[in-house]
A and B are shown apart, each in its own frame.
Chain A
Amino acid sequence: MAIRTEPFYLNIGPQHPSTHGVFRLRVTLDGEVVVGLEPIIGYLHRGIEKLAETRTYTQNIPFTDRLDYLSSMTNNLAYCMAVEKVGAIKVPERAEYLRIIFSEIMRISSHMMAVGFFLNDLGAMMTPVLYMWREREKIMDMFEMVCGQRLLYNYMRIGGVSQDLPEAFMPAVKKFLAEMPRYIDEYDQLLAQNEILLARSKGVGILPRDTAIAIGASGPVLRASGVKWDIRKMDPYSLYDRFDFEVPIGDSGDCYDRYWVRMLEIRQSVRILEQAVAQIPEKGPIRADVPQFFRPPRGEAYGYIEAPKGNIGFYIVSDGSIAPYRVHIYPPTLINITALQDMVIGWKVADLIIIFGSIDVVLGEIDR
Chain B
Amino acid sequence: MTVAINCEEIGKKLQEVFPGSVVSTGKADILVDANMLQQVAGFLKSTAGLDFDYLTFLTAVDYLEYMEIVYRLVSLNHNQSLILKTRCYSRENPVVPSVVSLWRAAYYQEREIFDLFGIKFDGHPDMRRLLLWEGFVGHPLRRDYL
Q: Verify B141–A304 contact, CB threshold 8 A.
A: no
Q: Verify B2–A41 contact, CB threshold 8 A.
A: no
Q: Is A90 an interface residue (CB 8 A)?
A: no
Q: Is A248 an interface residue (CB 8 A)?
A: no
Tell me the bound Cα distance from A323 to B134 in angstroms. 31
Which chain A residue lies CB-closest to B132?
A42
Interface string of B46-89 (1 = CB under 8 A from A): 00000001111101011000000010100010010001000000
Residues on A with beta carbons closer than 8 Å to the beta carbon of B116 = 49
Chain A, range 25-59, C-beta contacts under 8 Å to B: 41-42, 45, 47, 49-50
Partner of B54, one of A213, A302, A317, A330: A213
Q: Is B43 an interface residue (CB 8 A)?
A: no
Chain B, range 100-117, C-beta contacts under 8 Å to A: 103-105, 107-109, 116
Given the interface contacts A42-B130, A229-B76, does A214 sit within 8 Å of B57 by beta carbon?
no
Q: Is A204 an interface residue (CB 8 A)?
A: no
Chain A, range 161-219, C-beta contacts under 8 Å to B: 211, 213-216, 218
Which chain B residue lies CB-closest to A214?
B104
Which chain A residue lies CB-closest to B106?
A216
Tell me the bound Cα distance from A235 to B3 in angstroms. 8
How many contacts A-B (CB < 8 Å)? 72
Q: Verify B1–A235 contact, CB threshold 8 A.
A: yes
Chain A, range 277-307, C-beta contacts under 8 Å to B: 302, 304
Partner of A45, one of B1, B79, B132: B132
Which chain A residue lies CB-closest to B53?
A213
Residues on B with beta carbons closer than 8 Å to the beta carbon of A326 = 61-62
Chain B, range 11-30, C-beta contacts under 8 Å to A: none
Partner of A334, one of B76, B108, B133: B108
Tell me the bound Cα distance from A234 to B130 in angstroms. 32
Partner of B104, one of A41, A339, A367: A339
Q: Is A236 an interface residue (CB 8 A)?
A: yes
Tell me the bound Cα distance from A49 to B132 in angstroms. 14
Q: Verify B104–A215 contact, CB threshold 8 A.
A: yes
Partner of A304, one of B56, B70, B83: B56
Which of A236, A302, A311, A313 lies at the interface centre, i.e. has the most chain B CB atoms within 10 A of its CB?
A: A302
Q: Verify A42–B131 contact, CB threshold 8 A.
A: yes
Further 17 A-B residue pairs, CB within 8 A, beyond A216-B56, A326-B61, A335-B105: A41-B130, A42-B131, A42-B132, A50-B140, A214-B105, A215-B107, A216-B103, A216-B105, A234-B1, A234-B2, A235-B1, A311-B56, A313-B57, A325-B61, A328-B59, A335-B108, A367-B131
Q: Which residues of A contact B (CB under 8 A)?
A: 41-42, 45, 47, 49-50, 211, 213-216, 218, 227, 229, 231, 234-236, 302, 304, 311, 313, 315, 317, 325-326, 328, 330, 334-335, 338-339, 367-368
Can you identify 30 A-B contacts, CB atoms within 8 angstroms? A42-B131, A42-B132, A45-B132, A49-B116, A211-B104, A213-B53, A213-B54, A214-B103, A214-B104, A214-B105, A215-B105, A215-B107, A216-B54, A216-B55, A216-B104, A218-B56, A227-B76, A231-B2, A302-B57, A313-B56, A315-B70, A326-B62, A328-B57, A330-B59, A335-B108, A335-B109, A338-B104, A338-B105, A339-B104, A368-B131
The 5 closest A-B pairs by CB, nearest first: A216-B105, A235-B2, A42-B131, A328-B59, A330-B57
